[in-house]
A and B are shown apart, each in its own frame.
Chain A
Amino acid sequence: NAGVTQTPKFQVLKTGQSMTLQCAQDMNHEYMSWYRQDPGMGLRLIHYSVGAGITDQGEVPNGYNVSRSTTEDFPLRLLSAAPSQTSVYFCASSNRQGATEAFFGQGTRLTVV
């Protein structure tokens, strides 16, 4: 059982480039979300989805787009990378009900130069 898989694990981008961070889960979870973690800080929510075709913004959505065409996949797109987006990105999934555990991926370490 793979759980939540994120690719790539590491990425270096130049300012202005675009890219997509991939996230896939095999647990048939309705709820998926993206967080970023800056050094010495907790995780901050970027975007989330409560099911295929439904997405919404979290705490820090600017500069990022998401879509959810299938239950399994929830890609995060950086439209025009900026050095301020240098961070570690985590994808998570869970059942929609609040009293269940969330599963996190191993993270993508992104550096924008």
Chain B
Amino acid sequence: DAKTTQPNSMESNEEEPVHLPCNHSTISGTDYIHWYRQLPSQGPEYVIHGLTSNVNNRMASLAIAEDRKSSTLILHRATLRDAAVYYCILRDVLGDNYGQNFVFGPGTRLSVLP
């Protein structure tokens, strides 16, 4: 299975943009890039996903490199509520049943400073 690599931790100031990087050099053509986050004492929640083009939603933007070997989750204005562990996950849409599961690494712990 293709793996992702993320920094262990990052810090940001409140109301400033945050760029969370993810490397996935062994990504296959049918892997979607998903981002989830986990707030303290809660289950993971969906943030955004994409295949090739950059994606925007109300929570964040996802910038995908042209060769798809890396991506960046962008929080445009960090708030204290955005302090969480962020997971970058590859999910194969054409894989077998097991391949449709989410493989969670340790993620990036984002701290937001007031």
Binding site for B on A (CB under 8 A): 4, 31, 33, 35, 40-45, 48, 50, 56, 58, 90, 92, 96-99, 101-107
* Contact A96/B100 with A90-B44, A101-B46, A106-B43 known, Cβ cut-off 8 Å: yes
Known: A43-B102, A50-B97. A101 touches B49 (CB 8 A): yes
Closest Cβ–Cβ distance, residue A49 to chain B (whole Å): 9
Which residues in B have their C-beta under 8 angstroms from that of A45?
101-103
Q: Given A106-B43, A107-B42, do A98 and B32 touch, yes or no (CB 8 Å)?
A: yes
The answer for the CA separation of A42 and B85 in the assembled complex, in Å, is 9
Whether the pair B93, A99 counts as a contact (CB closer than 8 A) is: yes
CB distance from B84 to the nearest CB of A (A): 13
Q: Pick the contact of A43 from B44, B45, B97 — CB < 8 Å? A: B44
A56 to B96, CA, bound (A): 12
Compute how far the CA of A44 lies from the CA of B101 in the bound complex, rounded to whole angstroms.
10
Q: In the complex, are the beta carbons of A42 and B104 less than 8 A apart? A: yes
Q: How far is the CB of B4 from the nearest CB of chain A, in Å?
A: 11
Taking Cβ atoms with an 8 Å cutoff, the residues of B that contact A are 32, 34, 36, 41-46, 49, 51, 87, 91-95, 97-107
Closest Cβ of chain A to B13, distance in Å, is 25
Cβ contact within 8 Å between A103 and B100? no
Instruction: List residues of chain A with CB within 8 A of the CB of B92.
Output: 98
Q: Among B45, B94, B101, B107, which residue has its beta carbon within 8 angstroms of that of A33? A: B101
Q: Contacts A41-B106, A104-B44 hold; do A99 and B101 have CB atoms under 8 A apart? A: no
CB–CB B104/A99 < 8 A: no
- Interchain Cβ contacts under 8 Å between A and B, 21 examples: A33-B101, A35-B104, A41-B106, A42-B87, A42-B106, A43-B104, A45-B103, A48-B97, A48-B101, A50-B97, A56-B98, A98-B91, A98-B93, A98-B99, A99-B49, A101-B46, A101-B49, A103-B46, A104-B45, A107-B41, A107-B43
- Docked Cα-Cα span, A105 to B43, in Å, equals 6
Query: Which B residues are CB-close (under 8 A) to A92?
Result: 43-44, 102
Provided the pairs A41-B106, A99-B51, A101-B49 are in contact, do residues A31 and B100 lie with their beta carbons within 8 angstroms? yes
